[in-house]
Structures are given as structure tokens and as C-alpha cells.
Chain A
Amino acid sequence: MARFSDDMLSRAKELVSLYPDPRSATIPLCHLAQEQDGYVSDEAMAHIAELVGSSAAEVQGTASFYDMLKLEPVGRYVIGVCTNIACMLRGAYEVLEDAEKVLGIPVGGTTEDGLFTLEEVECIAHCDHAPAAQVNYRYFGPLDDESFRSLIARLRDGELDDEVPPHGTLIRVRREAPPAIPMTEIDRERAGDQE
């Protein structure tokens, strides 16, 4: 898709400025690219490389390691059904099978209308609500076939728009803080402490 828009670019630069080493902003900027386009495009990776001072290949090397960073377009809602041990013991595979039927796609697929992508995921740390799932990393559970169907219906009807932003939007709370304290200032202060 695209490089960062003006608004996203200013957010990206702000993120980069927070770190002693700009490369530390690589993953946060990949999330930002996903917020803009729903996935991390080649153009975005090249732009991120420029911003953090690395190469597009290095950014891709990093991005391709992480399950949440999508290098191809995905649905507006990425549904991750957990089947790890705690959920499996409480019926997760039945939920997953049902999800395939309800959505009409296999695990890894995206519905034709581009609304849903179905994933089988590892433990999402919601085991006291097993079997659990996430939609764009927002939690739902415990699920059975009925509650899963109703979840899909509510997503389709836009009833959960406030709770579940489109895929890629992760942290809606922006950092509100004075500019980062320069490391040189902290270094001086700590040197004084050690005298």
C-alpha cells in the first residue's frame, strides 16, 4: 500500500525520538503501519527503514519473525481462536471447527468480503475464560458454538465497533508526556549519584 501519511509520519517520528537507539522503534512502527493499512506493506517497511536508520531487508527480517505483523493484507477482523492446552481441555477444537463452518473458510483463510481472517493461535493468557478467542487482540470467552455465532453477527452488524477497532489499531491511548529526558542529562545526574 503506502508509506506513512503526514499524520502517521509525525507519530512515527515522535516514537523514534523516545529511544536511545532509533532501531528500537522498529516494532512499534510496524504496528503503526498496520494501523494505517491493516498490514505492513513493502513500502511501509522501506519507510520504516529510513526512519530508524536500517535497511528495508532488516525491517522485513524483523517483521517476518512476529505472528502479529502481517506482511499480506488480512481481514478487517482477525479472529484468533486459542487451542492451546487450557482451552483445548475445555473444547477449543470444537470452537475452531465451528468457526470454520460459520465463516466458511479454513484456518488461515479470509472471507471473500474481506471482513474476517481466521487463525488458530497459541495461548492468549485468558485461560480462566477458556475456550477463548481474540478479535483484533480484544478478548472473548468462554465461547461455544452459539456465543461464537453471536460474536460474528455482532461484528458484522457493527455492534462492537467501539470495542474492536479494525485490524492493526492496537493502542488507542497515545503517549502524553513531556519530551523524553535526554540521556546525556540522565547520565550527568546518575554520575552525580555515584560520586
Chain B
Amino acid sequence: MTERIVGARLGYEDSETLSRFLATGGDQGLRRAVLEMRPEEVADEVTTANLLGRGGAGFEAGRKWSMLRKAPRRYLVINGDESEPATFKDHLLVERDPHQLVEGATIAAYAIGASLVVIYLRGEFALGLERVQQAINEAYARNALGRSIFGSSFSVDILLQPGAGAYICGEETSLIESLEGKRGFPRIKPPYFPAVIGLYGEPTIVNNVETVSNLPWIVQHGGAAFKALGEGRSTGTRLFALSGQVQRPGPYEVEMTKITFRDLIYGKEYGQGLHPDRSLIAFIPGGVSAPWFFPENLDIPLGQDEVAKAGSMLGSGSVIVMDDTSCPVRSAWRIARFFARESCGQCTPCREGGAWIDKILRRIEEGEGREADLDLLLDLCDNISPGIKWPPAQTTICVLGPSIPPSVSAAVNHFRDDFLVHIKEGRCPHA
């Protein structure tokens, strides 16, 4: 039986209610933190836990906090702008366990001494926004938020900010711009970290929804207990989002490193395999920014370093399965088109390169490609991210640009014959 942490309440029909929350350990982490621990002690537990950020980059949460510039005013922003295609774990957490999120955010605020917390959620999460606002209201009503939380000397407010539909706002500096009322343009680096210059120019920590949702458990059980789960740098559990052509897509919380992609896709308690008479051609291990994996990669464990060693990333924790009825050209095109649409347009390689790749892949898929297009695609990828290597080289302000080549190069290199059939026959053989 896998230990469940962030998803512990998801089995209950009424997981979003205050009564279920309180009946299942709710508030205990926050009470312990503000009444029995000093802020540094809370931060130490998180460092001990080696909690890696769950948004995509996998940066150690404790280390991020330790980089916070000393200043009288500092902010905490919770990133719930989950928009990486095929990623739906934060959607689940905000809708089904909003109290845990608010508790986790308040614990983080205490640990770093935040002056104000803003929970920034994707605007498209209408129900999630309502439930988190409800949870915030109920937290104020029982003094789990506001002045002198639970009678302690710690006071803080939480605001709920709805986004308005822009993938790029998941990038933390873009999110901050958006939160300042501007277009969601990523900021030029350096400064590399909002912990130095963030919201309103003040030091700011941006933590993902799932990351802070782990905090109540870590405070209650200790960082060592969290670290005891998983292996190496990959500690605790993670909520994996399985989608695409499997029998049972869904969110599955598993202990890090303990199961493989084969287990997740084919296992009885997880994806239950592919549809009858179909076979796997590829899967993407961590959101569409990640290089594709193929059947020979199935036995890699779900761990940060294990996946990195094999040339991809665990990223946002979303696993997309493609079977042999799907067209790899079409899949690569749809992913490229997404990036082309969501590019903020500031940097030429991303803005122009993405649009070109979208057009070329589309014409190949529609049977109007030519053989020279294959080299042209790789050349464009090379211009966006020189060397087309992993981890990718960056020519742009943010990582959206370098996220385009992995799918394109994987498809072109691994499914070259499919591309050639499209070009020769003047049509998609899968259509």
C-alpha cells in the first residue's frame, strides 16, 4: 500500500468540506507550526524532507526558501496556474482538497515570514476558485487565518487571484507580472530568482500548489518521515497524472522511485494497460515540454534523477500514452501548435520558430509536406535551442521556447518512416 500524502482525502466524496478536513487531521500541521515551532524549525523540516518543487522544475523547496533576500516585506505566491498540457493534479487538489492548500500556504507563510500570501489559480478553474475562496473564508472564521492565528503572534492574510487564460503565466516571473496587473511577459534574467526581486520588487517565494499541499503532512510527521519515502533526491510521494490512450487515465499518488512507467501504465491499480489489440509506440514522462520515451524506457522508475539520466524529465508529473492507432506526426504537430499559440512573443526564436514548426508539421500531416521538411524542422529546433540536447540550451527569456524542440525532434528522429509515408502518399496513413 502506497503512502498517501497530498491525496489522502481524495477517496472521500466530501473531501472538499471543512468537516471532512477537520475529521482527517486538518489544521494539525498549522497549529503545531504556529504554536510549537519557530519559523526556522518549520523550514528545517522542509529542508530535511528534501521536498522538491512539484510545479515542473523540481527545485528543492527548502533551498528556495533559504534564498529569500532579507527585507522587511516579503511575499508568498502560490502558483496554481497549472496549464502544462496533460497535467491535472493541481486542478484536482484545488477542487477536492482546498483546505489542505490553504493550510499548506499558511504554514509556508509562517516559515518564511511572508507579509501577504496570494494564491494565483488558473482562471479556468471556476469550481476550484469557488472552493478555495470558501476554504479561505472558513479559515478566517475559525482563526486559522488573519490576525493572531490560533492565538499565536503570527498574522497573515491570503488573497485569491484568478488568472485569465495564459499558459505562460505558470512561469514564475510571468505570473508575478500578471499579478501586478500586466501582460504575462516573463522577466529578463538576471535576477534569476523572485526570492531576490519578485512581486513589487520585493523578495517573493513562488511555490506550486502540490508543493505546499505537502506541508501539513511534513510538519505533522516530520521531514525525516517524508524523506524515508522514495529514494535519493526523490522523496515523498507524487501525484502523477496519467492520460492519453490507456484504459484508466487518472491521478495516481505513488511513492517516488518505487514503481516504473510500466507499472503506472499497465498496473492493475493504475492505468490498466492499453486498449485491446493496440500497442505502445511512445509516452511522454513529464508534460509536453519533456522529450518522449519509447517502449524500451518502460522500466525506468518514477524518480527525478532516474528519468533525467534517461534523457527526459519528470517535469509536471503528467504521463501521456500514445498507442499505435495514433499518428506521431499529428501528436508532434498538436504539441508544437500549443507552444506556438502560447508563446508570449517577446523572443524571436520562440515566436517565429514555434509558428514555423506548427505550419510545417501541419502541412506534412495534411499530406502536403516534402522530404526537405524533415531537415528544416530540425534546423528550426536547433535555432530555438542550439544542439537540440537535453537539458536544452536556451536562447530565450524563459523556457517556453526550449520546450518546443523535444517533441519535434523525438517524432522526426524516432518516427522518420511515418513522416516519409505522409510525404510519399500525400496523406496521413492514420486518418
Instruction: Please list the residues of chain A having a beta carbon within 8 angstroms of any beta carbon in chain B.
Output: 18-21, 23-28, 30-31, 52, 54, 61-63, 65-69, 83-86, 88-90, 122-128, 130, 134, 136-139, 170-178, 180-181, 183, 185-187, 189-191, 193-194
Alpha-carbon gap, A171 to B82, bound state (A): 18
Residue of chain B at shortest CB distance from A163? B127
- Does B159 contact A19, Cβ atoms closer than 8 Å? yes
Q: Is the interface of B mostly helix, strand, loop or mixed?
A: mixed
Residue of chain B at shortest CB distance from A25? B181
- Does B88 contact A128, Cβ atoms closer than 8 Å? yes
Interface residue? B383 (CB, 8 A):
no
- Does A125 contact B88, Cβ atoms closer than 8 Å? yes
Alpha-carbon gap, A170 to B132, bound state (A): 13
Q: Pick the residue among B115, B157, B183, B341 that contacts A122 (CB under 8 A).
A: B341
Alpha-carbon gap, A174 to B334, bound state (A): 38
Alpha-carbon gap, A129 to B23, bound state (A): 29
Closest-CB distance, A99 to chain B (whole angstroms) = 18
Report how many A-B pairs have Cβ atoms within 8 Å: 204
**11 A-B residue contacts at CB 8 Å?**
A20-B116, A26-B182, A65-B184, A67-B165, A68-B124, A84-B334, A86-B320, A134-B124, A186-B115, A187-B73, A194-B113
Q: B328-343: which residues lie under 8 A (CB-CB) from chain A?
A: 330-331, 334-335, 338, 341-342
Alpha-carbon gap, A77 to B38, bound state (A): 50
What 1/0 flags go to B310-322 for Cβ under 8 Å of A? 0000000010111
- Does A20 contact B200, Cβ atoms closer than 8 Å? yes
Residue of chain B at shortest CB distance from A68? B165
Instruction: Please list the residues of chain B having a beta carbon within 8 angstroms of any beta carbon in chain A.
Output: 39, 70, 72-73, 82-88, 90-91, 113, 115-116, 122-127, 129-131, 133-134, 136-137, 140-141, 145-147, 153, 155-157, 159-167, 178-184, 200, 241-245, 249-251, 288, 318, 320-322, 326, 330-331, 334-335, 338, 341-342
- Does A86 contact B243, Cβ atoms closer than 8 Å? yes
Q: Pick the residue among A23, A86, A137, A170 that contacts B181 (CB under 8 A).
A: A23
Alpha-carbon gap, A180 to B140, bound state (A): 11
- Does B241 contact A127, Cβ atoms closer than 8 Å? yes
Which of B147, B165, B179 has the largest count of A CB atoms less than 10 A from its CB? B165
Please indicate the chain A residues that have their CB under 8 angstroms from the CB of B184 in the complex. Answer: 65-66
- Does B162 contact A171, Cβ atoms closer than 8 Å? yes
Known: A21-B200, A85-B85, A128-B249. A186 touches B116 (CB 8 A): yes
Q: Pick the residue among A27, A30, A183 that contacts B116 (CB under 8 A).
A: A183
Alpha-carbon gap, A191 to B182, bound state (A): 30
Please indicate the chain A residues that have their CB under 8 angstroms from the CB of B122 in the complex. Answer: 125
Closest-CB distance, B164 to chain A (whole angstroms) = 4
- Beyond A67-B164, A138-B127, list 20 extra A-B contacts (CB 8 Å): A21-B200, A23-B181, A25-B181, A28-B162, A66-B164, A66-B184, A85-B320, A88-B330, A89-B326, A89-B331, A90-B244, A122-B342, A127-B249, A137-B126, A174-B133, A177-B136, A178-B146, A189-B153, A193-B39, A194-B70
- Does B164 contact A128, Cβ atoms closer than 8 Å? no
Q: Pick the residue among B86, B90, B134 that contacts A127 (CB under 8 A).
A: B86
- Does B72 contact A139, Cβ atoms closer than 8 Å? no
- Does A62 contact B127, Cβ atoms closer than 8 Å? no
Please indicate the chain B residues that have their CB under 8 angstroms from the CB of A181 in the complex. Answer: 146-147, 155-157
Closest-CB distance, A157 to chain B (whole angstroms) = 21
- Does B137 contact A176, Cβ atoms closer than 8 Å? yes
Please indicate the chain B residues that have their CB under 8 angstroms from the CB of A194 in the complex. Answer: 70, 72, 113
Closest-CB distance, A176 to chain B (whole angstroms) = 4
Alpha-carbon gap, A189 to B74, bound state (A): 13
Closest-CB distance, A177 to chain B (whole angstroms) = 4
Alpha-carbon gap, A189 to B113, bound state (A): 10
Known: A88-B334, A89-B326. A52 touches B181 (CB 8 A): yes
Please indicate the chain B residues that have their CB under 8 angstroms from the CB of A86 in the complex. Answer: 85-86, 243-244, 249, 320
Q: Pick the residue among B83, B113, B167 that contacts A193 (CB under 8 A).
A: B113
- Does B338 contact A84, Cβ atoms closer than 8 Å? yes
- Does A123 contact B84, Cβ atoms closer than 8 Å? yes
Q: Pick the residue among A23, A88, A136, A187 that contacts B180 (CB under 8 A).
A: A23
Residue of chain A at shortest CB distance from B288? A85
Alpha-carbon gap, A66 to B320, bound state (A): 27
Known: A89-B320, A125-B83. A27 touches B162 (CB 8 A): yes
Residue of chain B at shortest CB distance from A183? B115
Alpha-carbon gap, A90 to B278, bound state (A): 14
Alpha-carbon gap, A17 to B80, bound state (A): 23
Alpha-carbon gap, A181 to B153, bound state (A): 14
Residue of chain B at shortest CB distance from A22? B181
- Does B113 contact A190, Cβ atoms closer than 8 Å? yes
Known: A30-B164, A86-B320, A89-B331. A128 touches B250 (CB 8 A): yes
- Does B160 contact A175, Cβ atoms closer than 8 Å? yes
Which of A23, A126, A185, A190 has the largest count of B CB atoms less than 10 A from its CB? A190
Please indicate the chain A residues that have their CB under 8 angstroms from the CB of B249 in the complex. Answer: 86, 127-128, 130
